[in-house]
Chain A
Amino acid sequence: RKEVEQDPGPFNVPEGATVAFNCTYSNSASQSFFWYRQDCRKEPKLLMSVYSSGNEDGRFTAQLNRASQYISLLIRDSKLSDSATYLCVVNGQAGTALIFGKGTTLSVSS
């Protein structure tokens, strides 16, 4: 079983749509959780951290369910510029390596 699993997509949505990505992780000892965004042939960039209480950053909302080891990302009012691959990432102890999911590809069209 892979450590971090995501639906690879692709998700093809029109501008303005709401889209949700899901992710599960296998290591119950994981302590930190993130969503990264990766554009084609570029390095990943931190989109947001994910907390058990849920957190929101503009059009983006992330949720964490530790009991079911499940992480989600909701994007509202999709923009063309949101087209990218979204990586679900977990971390054990602070200072150790990040573990990446395979990524979910989003394509927003006009």
Chain B
Amino acid sequence: GAVVSQHPSRVICKSGTSVKIECRSLDFQATTMFWYRQFPKQSLMLMATSNEGSKATYEQGVEKDKFLINHASLTLSTLTVTSAHPEDSSFYICSAREFGESYTFGSGTRLTVV
């Protein structure tokens, strides 16, 4: 089946630094990828929809200048958390769907900002 590779799986960074998370679709082209965030004991909340070759669409309340999304190719989308703060510590996960198939998730990135 379709596979989405997400890296890194875990990252610890200092407050004020930026962190980049990558998601790659393997063996299929993903014109659209979805970025979610999950806080402990909470549901996955959609942050943004990443579209290849165009600007991402952000959900209400998600700062586009803080969470930079780049979808430069049909197989790669990146999420950069800029000037990270402890409240950004969370589980970030991407998802993509091969045409006609079910949604596939990356393995997630656990971000800890200290």
Contact A98 B107 (CB under 8 A): no
Q: Is B11 an interface residue (CB 8 A)?
A: no
Can you name 7 A-B residue pairings with CB atoms under 8 Å? A41-B108, A43-B93, A98-B34, A98-B46, A98-B95, A100-B36, A102-B43
A-B contact count (CB 8 A): 41
Q: Contact between B91 and A101 (Cβ–Cβ < 8 Å)? A: no
- The dominant DSSP class at the B interface is strand
How many of chain B's residues touch chain A, expressed as a range? Answer: 20 to 34
Given A95-B97, A98-B34, A44 contacting B105 (CB threshold 8 A): yes
Number of interface residues of A (CB under 8 A): 19
CB < 8 Å neighbour of A95 from B32, B42, B105: B32
Residues in A with CB closer than 8 Å to B102 are 46, 49
Residues of A near any B CB (own CB < 8 A)? 4, 8, 41-46, 49, 87, 95-103
- Which of chain B's residues have a CB closer than 8 A to the CB of A101? 43
Contacting pair B107 A97 (CB below 8 A): no
- Report the separation of the CA atoms of residues A44 and B93 in the bound assembly, to the nearest whole angstrom: 10
